[in-house]
Chains A and B, each alone.
Chain A
Amino acid sequence: MVIIAVPSNGNGGLNEQMNPRFGRCPSFTFVTVENNEIKEVKAVPNHAADAMGGAGIQAAQIVGNNSANEVIVGSLGPNAAQSLSSLKLKIYQAPNQPISVKEVINLYLEHKLQLITSANVSSHYGMGRGGGMGGGRGMGGGRGMGRQNRSPF
């Protein structure tokens, strides 16, 4: 039996969207899996969401206090990364796209999520991992500032 923590939107639950930001997500959804099947779902509000500092550490505390063994994340701050790895939790990388808790758990059950090892957790933490689609906005050059007076000021 494993308990997987997923940062989620709103009040959490399988049908909520997953939240990509670990420390500042509004809630955590804890999914108990046994024999590759969902056994139990529990949602807990993240009181660290609006914390001034140390949100990542406090969120890790919530995850730990709810006996999670594994966690699925979008992005991870450095302190959260350190906390989760010192709690010896397995960290999985969610795909970089809007996804519901249920969908991401299904990917987990299908073994389609990438496991972040302690060796690469440092290169994974930080802001906004993953790629945008890079749809060119097709802007031309930024010109047209008008001639300014040459001046040091």
Chain B
Amino acid sequence: MAKIICITGGKGGTGKTLIAVNLATLFKNHGFNVLLVDGDVENPNTYLLMNGKLENSSEVSFFEPKIDEHKCTKCGLCAENCISHALLYIKDAIPIPILNVCSGCKLCYKICPTEAIIADSRVIGLIYSTKVNNIDLLIGELKPSEARSAVIVKALMEKIDILLNDKHEKYDVIIFDTAPGAHCDVEELIQRADYVIPVTEPTRFGRLDLLRIIELIDLLNKEYRVIVNRSSLLGFRDQFLNELNDNDIQVLGDIPLDEDIVKSYCIGVPLMDNHSRFDTQGKGYKSFQIIYENLAKWSGIKT
């Protein structure tokens, strides 16, 4: 059974994607079959950090009611029962769908007595499935100006179910990279995970958002351990780690500010990639090795 590790964090820009990509790389280096899932569907970035391409796409569609004007008797039943008021109905006129408030519940389609509502759909995003450096990558991407990111995340989950049920696919580790925040998209991914890693930084913002994401993780009853990124910022490392310790928040490791990390991020080669030619004695490199060891121990994923 593949173990699912979810990298999340509440605050944006703390290094979730960086960590997800490098952990996936480390697992691959150790001979595991890895699937990396980019669940930040509003802004998926994983592939950029690995010089990957968006390819092999499939469409994600969303329900859109269309009215068959010949069949419609203008009774208004659909509009009357639509809780989001997505059907604008003026008496003796054909209802007009107001699509941006439509929840996609299909109730109108199901209850129309004359079957005058056609269940049409529009593409609101894509799922890409690709392979970079022997890491399988599944990416969800919402189209700009579409609002329903949760639909893309759900489609990602369905895709994973299919993959996991396929006897030929044998993943040892699945790594999720989530969006910032603590909303339903993040929730859905945490829900599916066995181990959750919130990434934070030693700032006021980092701390507040960490506490909030932990509240969500607790609500979902999941095990978690924290990674503190940019831990050397302004010399707050020890103070921050102590505070986490005082609050019984377990830490998987910390990553100091490191030029190699910035460089790897910008050229799209993961720091921990075997061919990356980064300094294996560097601060960042070493901290990732420690984190990997701790994670392997915690999750029981071992060679």
Contact = CB atoms under 8 A, between A and B. Distances in A.
- State if A and B touch, Cβ cutoff 8 Å: yes
A137 B204 CA distance: 32
Interface stretch (B36-44, B81-89, B111-119, B126-134): B81-89
A54 B236 CA distance: 48
Given A54-B84, A82-B98, A86-B96, A152 B89 contact: no
Contacts of A151: 236, 239
Given A86-B96, A151-B239, A152-B239, A54 B101 contact: yes
A69 to B, nearest CB: 12
B289 interface: no
A83 interface: yes
A78 B145 CA distance: 14
Nearest to B84: A54
Interface string A62-75: 00110000000000
B64 to A, nearest CB: 15
Contacts, number: 53
**What is the interface of chain A mostly: helix, strand, loop, or mixed?**
helix
B1 to A, nearest CB: 39
B204 A153 contact: yes
Interface in A42-94: 51, 53-54, 57-58, 60-61, 64-65, 78-79, 82-83, 86-87
A152 B206 contact: yes
Contacts of A64: 88, 90, 93
Contacts of B203: 152
Contacts of A53: 84-85, 101
Nearest to B208: A153
A57 B98 contact: yes
Nearest to B236: A152
B94 to A, nearest CB: 11
Interface residue tally on B, bucketed by range = 20 to 34
B88 to A, nearest CB: 5
Contact of A65 (B90, B100, B239): B90
Given A54-B101, A57-B101, A153 B207 contact: yes
Contacts of B100: 78-79, 82
B206 A58 contact: no
B47 to A, nearest CB: 32
Contacts of B207: 152-153
B290 to A, nearest CB: 22
Contacts of A78: 100
Interface in A76-121: 78-79, 82-83, 86-87
Contact of A57 (B85, B202, B236): B85
Contacts of A60: 88
A51 B204 CA distance: 38
Contacts of B243: 153
B240 interface: yes
A51 B86 CA distance: 14
Interface string B198-239: 000011101100000000000000000000000000101001
Contacts of B101: 53-54, 57, 79
Contact of A152 (B79, B91, B204): B204
Nearest to A51: B85
Contacts of B206: 152
Contact of A61 (B88, B234, B239): B88
B88 A152 contact: no
A82 B101 CA distance: 11
Given A64-B90, A86-B96, A153-B243, 4 more contacts: A53-B85, A53-B101, A58-B85, A83-B98
Please give me the 10 A-B residue pairs with the lowest Cβ-Cβ distance, nearest first. Answer: A54-B85, A64-B90, A57-B85, A152-B236, A152-B202, A86-B96, A83-B88, A152-B203, A65-B90, A57-B98
13 contacts: A53-B84, A57-B85, A57-B98, A57-B101, A61-B79, A61-B90, A86-B88, A86-B98, A87-B96, A152-B202, A152-B234, A152-B236, A153-B243
